[in-house]
Amino acid sequence: MHKNEVSVFHEHFTEKETSIENSEINQIFDTAADGMRVIDKDFNVKLMNTTFCGLAGITMDEGLSQKCHETFSGPMCHTFECSLIQIMSGKERIERDVEKVHWNGDKIPCILTATPLRNVNGELIGIVEDFKDIRERKKLENDLLNAKNELELRVEERTQTLNKTIKIMQKEISKREKTEKALKKTEIELSFLSSKLLENQEDERRAIAFELHDAVIQSVAGIKYTLESIICENGNKFISADKQLMKAVGMTKNVIGAVLEITMSLWPANLEGLGLFAAISNFCREFELQYSRIHIQMKTNLNENDIPNVIKIVIYRIMQEAINNAAKHSHCNNVLFTLNKTNKLIRLIVEDNGIGFNEAEKNGKKGFGLLCMKERAELSGGSFSIKSVKGSGTIIRAAWVYRQLFENKRYNSKILSRPSGLLSKI
């Protein structure tokens, strides 16, 4: 083949190969998912694909006959931020979010990527713009943002509601704390008043006992001594009168004995002079003389100083009432009296082996003696209980918190700290 023929063949092959390459490039360009257009250095649109036409809302002919800023324009057009100006200033790649305007005025959010377009000699002849439609993404972002804002608003509302609730609860708690303090104060005052009531009752008993001793017993004793003097002075002069006088002396002795018994019941003088255990022992001895069929057994792990003064008279009264009840109602022959101390409590227990009673039948119909024992225990800050089974005897229990009796100075009774009265000499 001649040289000219080879040259013609080579030119023909090169043109054909270039034509095939351009065809493939055009096919890729036209079917791209993103909108694309080619702009020359004079802002003329030289090429665009169908995706771009759909994105801008124009036809191919409309786009190719106008400047780039006349179709699918944006806020960066006619500014230094223009993609073509930026590329012509030396930038090799631009990628940013932009907002372009559809032909109907709608705003289209896109990701713009712009790159230089050069000829075979490397000279800049324009730019290629790629527009990725991100309306769906923006919609999702806006939806997420709206959801976030709505959630934050709800959280803020809930927080405000919660803060209001917390403030209301704090006020309620504060109010309850004040109420609890007031109730505690009232409880202390009530306990103090109860203690004073019990103290006053014993004061009244003591006063009455003194009055009986000072007024009645002394007067009757005076009559007795007078009668005895008359008998001694007259000798046997008036035998019949002597008999009457002796009878009168006997009657006065009986009156004195009865009044002494009443005064001892009202106020146990031994409790003041000798202490609780001596007073209890004396009571039990007198009781066994009166009720010979009943034996009283006493158990204790306490000393006199272990028991606060405030409950000594209470313990004595409950013991006295419980044992008297056993004698009157239980038909027992043995009574066990226990007074002991644990780590926290002072316990009093009176137990008999009598006939007992049915608690269900007695419910609401308890005798005056049981009510008095219960009242005394509770007024002195203690607790009281009774357990009885028909045919199996009765157990009476009272208990006091040991520490409270010593620590609470408001309960320091003066009943047993007064000087001994005349009753101790009877």
DSSP conformation letters of 297-344: EEEE---GGGS-HHHHHHHHHHHHHHHHHIIIII--SEEEEEEEE-SS
Question: Could you check whether 32-133 and 270-426 share the same CATH topology?
Answer: no
- Please give the average per-residue pLDDT across 244-270, as a whole number: 67
User: What pLDDT was estimated at residue 234?
Assistant: 64
Q: What is the pLDDT of residues 309-324, one digit of tens each?
A: 888 888 998 998 999 9
Q: If you ran DSSP here, which 8-state letter would residue 44 be given?
A: B
Please count the other Cβ atoms lying within 10 Å of the Cβ belonging to residue 21: 10
**CATH code of the domain made up of 32-133:** 3.30.450.20
> What are the domain boundaries of the chain?
32-133, 270-426
How far is it, in rounded angstroms, from Cα 229 to Cα 119?
163
CB 300 within 8 A of CB 280: no
Give the pLDDT of residue 260: 61
- Give the mean pLDDT of 99-116: 93
Tell which phi-psi region holds residue 319, choosing left (phi > 0), alpha (psi between -120 and 50) or beta: alpha
> Model confidence at 125, in pLDDT bands (50, 70, 90)?
very high
Coil, strand or helix at 346: strand
Q: How far apart are CA 197 and CA 393, in angstroms?
A: 33
Q: How far apart are the first and last CA of the chain?
A: 167
What three-state secondary structure class fits 42? coil
Is residue 2 scored above 60 in pLDDT?
no
Please say whether the beta carbons of 287 and 327 come within 8 A: yes
Q: Which residue has the higher pLDDT, 14 or 98?
A: 98
Q: What is the pLDDT of residue 5?
A: 43
pTM > 0.85: yes or no: no
Give one DSSP letter per residue of 102-165, joined into a string: -TTS-EEEEEEEEEEEE-TT--EEEEEEEEEE-HHHHHHHHHHHHHHHHHHHHHHHHHHHHHHH
pLDDT tens digit sequence for 323-336: 998 988 888 999 99
DSSP string, 161-181: HHHHHHHHHHHHHHHHHHHHH
In the three-class reduction of DSSP (H, G, I as helix; E, B as strand; rest coil), residue 48 is classed as strand
Specify the range with the lowest mean pLDDT, choosing from 1-5, 127-131, 183-187. Answer: 1-5
* Rounded average pLDDT over 180-195: 74
pLDDT above 90 covers a percentage of the chain that reads 37
Among 3.20.20.150, 3.30.565.10, 1.10.260.40, 3.90.1150.10, what is the CATH number of 270-426?
3.30.565.10
Q: How far is the C-alpha of 256 from the C-alpha of 253, rounded, in Å?
A: 5
Range of weakest confidence among 41-45, 105-109, 247-251: 247-251
Q: Which of 27-31, 59-63, 231-235, 320-324 has the lowest mean pLDDT?
A: 231-235
pLDDT computed for residue 400 by the predictor: 92
CA dist 191 and 189 (Å) reads: 5
Is 60 exceeded by the pLDDT of residue 103?
A: yes
pLDDT computed for residue 426 by the predictor: 29
385: β partners:
397
pLDDT at 419: 36
pLDDT over threshold 50, residue 24: yes
**Average pLDDT over the chain, rounded to whole?**
79
**Residue 339 in contact with residue 281, Cβ under 8 Å?**
no
Which amino acid is present at 145? L
Which stretch of 199-203, 209-213, 215-219, 417-421 has the lowest confidence by average pLDDT? 417-421
Residues forming a β-bridge with 100: 108
Three-state SS for 101? strand
